[in-house]
Structure 1
Amino acid sequence: MKTTNTRRVWQVVGMGVLMFALVIGSSIYTNKQSTSTEPAIQETSSGTVSLTIGGFYENRRVSIASGDTVLNILQTLNTQDPKLQLSIKEYSGLGVLVEDMYEQKNGTGGNYWQYKVNGIMPQIGADSYTLKDSDSVEWFFGPSEF
């Protein structure tokens, strides 16, 4: 009888240790999972901008992530809208410029693709202008303003 009681005590102790290990292990796994997803959530969206492309889009709301540039949103839109047919070219000292959109190529009739942010034409390429939440981006095809 003494052996049976000793055996039963060890079984209860063993079950207690096993339960403790499962609870602690589950807690550690849950904490690691929630920590690893936090950065992804923070990086996915930092706001929206309004995008107008003369004659094609009027005040289209576009989500942006931290660090997105004017060019980034065009490139993203290009993957979603096959009619856009975005063509870009890098120029030394100027950066990346839009060469062609919607079959309107730079130089045609003395017109060029240009952009404004919040009504102001930046003096940098679209690849260098970092967007902020609520910015308004307008692309237009017209005579060079430089």
Structure 2
Amino acid sequence: MNKKKWLTAILIIGVLAIAFFWGGDYQKSPNKVASSSVETQVIEPENTASATNDDVEHTEAIATETTEITPSATPSETAKPIETLKPNESATPTEAVTPTGTAAPTEVVTPVATTKPAATKQPTATPKAAKTSVPETKATAKPVTKPDSKVATTETKQEPKKDKFLTDPVPSGKPKPVEWQDATVDKKKQLTATLSVSAATILDNMDIFNQDKLEVLPADGIIYKAQKVTFYEGESVFDVLLREMKKNKIHMEFSMTPIYNSNYIEGINNLYEFDAGELSGWMYKVNGWFPNYGSSRYVLKDGDVIDWVYTCDLGRDVGGYVATGGAQK
């Protein structure tokens, strides 16, 4: 009958533990409830059954192990010991009562002690998850600054560098400007060039032309027919134009523009800028190219072809739009 008594005692203790947990008169913290339930489960068998001294010491050791483990468990884990008792309670009580014979007291230890160490291993997974999230934030933060620095360098490279007289870079293969103060004129060396002056574009824009200037506009628009002229080595386009206009008694008016360090042609043969609209005026080209700097800074070479033309559309109608600052097509 010893085995039957032991099983009955265990069943009663389980029912009392559950009733005590759910219907207690005072409140306890989750940690204390778990520890008290374990202590009652282990101590009660000593009052109901005659266990040996070795068994008591064994159960006390187990009780100390469980009490040391339970405080570290979270509130969600304290409910687990109660859940482990329910399967014993739901088991068929008749089968547990009917067998006869003596059972070893060591079987009392097995229901609770084996299940609790597994619960303490679960919290170790949470610190690992926290550690893995740290390098992810560092990796995503680094590449943010790199695209910004690249954009800044490309913008500065695209800006063209102008000289002190606001001149854009001269295309490759074209003569660079020479300041008239630094030019050396050698009158012992005479060279030749071809010069022409034309206002033929006005004939295509008579609707916007100043009608008071009809008397000074040639019928064909040609003011100075293309012809060879002589000049001295080191002279500029402006020097040649000024001398030939004076020589042929053709009106010419100009003014020095210090910001560009060059003389600006305001009018030839009494045809001035703005006489054919807001975008009209005089331009020059050498060997078919419209320089992007003033005529006083262009030093001639032997055999150069100089053409002075009147534009009514800021160079678009004569092919010199780029020289006036327009974009190249």
Sort the TM-score into its range (normalised by shorter chain).
0.5 to 0.7
Question: CA–CA distance in 1 between the matches of 2:269 and 2:246?
Answer: 14
C-alpha deviation, 1:90, in angstroms: 1.6
In structure 1, the partner of 2:275 is: 108
C-alpha deviation, 1:58, in angstroms: 2.7
Equivalent residue runs for 1:105-144 within 5 Å? 105-110=272-277, 111-142=280-311, 143-144=313-314
Scaled by the length of structure 1, the TM-score of the pair is 0.66
Structure 2 unaligned spans of 5+: 1-185, 199-221, 316-323, 325-329
Structure 1 residue aligned with 2:242, among 69, 75, 92?
75
Question: CA–CA distance in 1 between the matches of 2:241 and 2:187?
Answer: 19
Greater mean deviation of Cα atoms: 73-82 or 63-72:
73-82
In structure 2, the partner of 1:52 is: 196
Higher helix share: 2
How many residues get paired?
A: 104
Instruction: Summarize deviations over 1:42-65 as a string: whole Å, max 9, x none.
Output: 733331000010112232111010
Instruction: Summarize deviations over 1:114-133 as a string: whole Å, max 9, x none.
Output: 00000000111111110000
> What amino acid maps onto 2:306 in structure 1?
V
Contact 1:70-1:126 within 8 A present in 2 as well: yes
Contact 1:106-1:113 within 8 A present in 2 as well: yes
**3-state SS, counterpart of residue 56 of structure 1:** strand
Question: CA–CA distance in 2 between the matches of 1:44 and 1:98?
Answer: 28
Higher strand share: 1
> What amino acid maps onto 2:298 in structure 1?
Y
Structure 2 residue aligned with 1:92, among 235, 241, 258?
258
> What amino acid maps onto 2:287 in structure 1?
N
**3-state SS, counterpart of residue 45 of structure 1:** strand
* Higher RCO structure (Cα 8 Å, ≥6 apart): 1
The 4+ residue runs of structure 1 with deviation greater than 3 A are none
**3-state SS, counterpart of residue 229 of structure 2:** strand
Q: Percent identity?
A: 22
C-alpha root-mean-square deviation of aligned residues, in Å? 1.4
Structure 1 unaligned spans of 5+: 1-41
> What amino acid maps onto 2:314 in structure 1?
S
Question: CA–CA distance in 2 between the matches of 1:113 and 1:44?
Answer: 32
Question: CA–CA distance in 1 between the matches of 2:253 and 2:291?
Answer: 20
Shift in alpha-carbon separation, 1:117–1:104, aligned structure 2, 3 A = same
C-alpha deviation, 1:103, in angstroms: 1.0
In structure 1, the partner of 2:73 is: none
Scaled by the length of structure 2, the TM-score of the pair is 0.30
> What amino acid maps onto 2:304 in structure 1?
D
